[in-house]
Amino acid sequence: MNKILWCCAFFLGAFLLAHPLEASSKVEHEAAVFLPKPKPVIRFIRPGSSRTKVLKSRFKVEAKISNFTKKRKIKLKVNNRPMTYQFNDRSGKLTSYVRLKPGDNKILISAGKASKSVIVFYDGPDTKPNDKPNNRPNTKPNPKPEDKPEEDDLAVSRVRKSITEYSKQFVGVPYVYAGKTPKGFDCSGFTSYVMKHKNVMISPASREQAKLGKKIPVSKAKAGDLIFYDTSGKGVSHVSLVISNRNGKLMVIHATSSKGVMIQDVNASSYWKPKILFARDVISGR
């Protein structure tokens, strides 16, 4: 009987010693697994304060985004209008050139659930009520419209050329619904992929792309601009990238469901021409 009692006491003591250690290790393990992820941190580099006054309408926005790698979920808005930007996922630096309106301009950057905004006041000519009109005659001849230099003409032209030349290597890639890689593209997946080559970050959805940049006449579209189409009768449903637009020929490259990625003159197409809606410039003014 004494042996039986001794054995029971031994096993009970061993169990009591082992049980709290097991529970403790389990708690430590769960604590290690469920450690909260660091929240994204957004810091504006330019402007460097929450409210800034500038004298030029074209403004360079720079920001640093930490603890966030999902580039597609980063949004830049100026006065609630989505803007294109360049983002370096290694350094976390976001850069964009934006156009300001006279007065206050709210610049907002969001990364997931984190967001930060600043106010940039553009002190444009028409915001100064005390300015006196200049009654002196203008002795300088007005330049012709085609002689006016475009902002960053050379740099923008290089970006446009680089994107269009890069896109041509994908001619023949098959069409894949919702495809975003060289294994297969759909129309908007293709345009977002080739734009990303020069850090022009746009949505992979054609209806979202149709809200970006600046709307321009189709006749004025240049290499690198986007042309949008209505193929369903319900609004934007297709997008293409302009290769060239001269002498009545609108050459574009796009991912079509019938032939995959191809180059064609949509002005000469009885199918595509009637379905053209508008064009947008998502490269200039970044």
CA-CA distance, 169 to 50, in Å (whole number)? 45
Model's pTM, two decimal places? 0.52
Instruction: For residue 253, report the phi and psi dihedrals to the nearest 5 degrees.
Output: -120, 130
**For position 15, what pLDDT does the model report?**
64
| CB contact burial 124-153 (16+ within 10 A = b; e otherwise) | eeeeeeeeeeeeeeeeeeeeeeeeeeeebe
**Nearest Cα residue to 100 out of 63, 62, 53, 64:** 53
- Tell me, yes or no, whether 6 lies in a domain: no
Segment (H or E) for 26 = helix 2-33
- Tell me, yes or no, whether 16 lies in a domain: no
Q: Indicate if 168 and 231 belong to the same structural domain.
A: yes
- Tell me, yes or no, whether 231 lies in a domain: yes
pLDDT in tens, the chain (286 residues): 566 666 666 666 666 565 554 545 554 555 455 567 788 899 999 988 889 888 888 999 999 999 887 878 899 999 999 988 888 888 889 999 999 999 899 999 999 889 999 999 988 765 444 444 444 545 555 554 444 444 457 888 899 999 999 999 999 999 999 999 999 999 999 999 999 988 899 999 999 999 999 999 999 999 999 999 999 999 999 999 999 999 999 999 999 999 999 999 999 999 999 999 999 999 986 6
User: Of 79, 109, 126, which one is at a domain's C-terminal end?
Assistant: 126
- Tell me, yes or no, whether 230 lies in a domain: yes
CATH number at residue 178: 3.90.1720.10
**For position 155, what pLDDT does the model report?**
84
Q: Indicate if 164 and 261 belong to the same structural domain.
A: yes
DSSP string, 162-187: HHHHHHGGGTTPPB-TT-EETTEE-H
**For position 49, what pLDDT does the model report?**
86
Q: Indicate if 121 and 159 belong to the same structural domain.
A: no
**For position 19, what pLDDT does the model report?**
58
201 φψ region: left (φ > 0), alpha (ψ -120 to 50), beta (else): beta
- Tell me, yes or no, whether 105 lies in a domain: yes
Extract the tokens encoding 133: 């009109």
CA-CA distance, 119 to 66, in Å (whole number)? 22
Q: Indicate if 165 and 69 belong to the same structural domain.
A: no
Q: Indicate if 163 and 247 belong to the same structural domain.
A: yes
Q: Indicate if 255 and 213 belong to the same structural domain.
A: yes
CATH number at residue 45: 2.60.40.10
What is each CA distance from 281 to 109, 172, 209, 220, 241, in whole angstroms?
Answer: 21, 26, 10, 10, 10
Q: Indicate if 160 and 63 belong to the same structural domain.
A: no
Number of folded domains in the chain? 2
**For position 23, what pLDDT does the model report?**
46
CA-CA distance, 73 to 64, in Å (whole number)? 15
DSSP string, 237-252: -EEEEEEEEETTEEEE
Q: Indicate if 160 and 270 belong to the same structural domain.
A: yes
For 85, the domain range is 41-126
- Tell me, yes or no, whether 23 lies in a domain: no
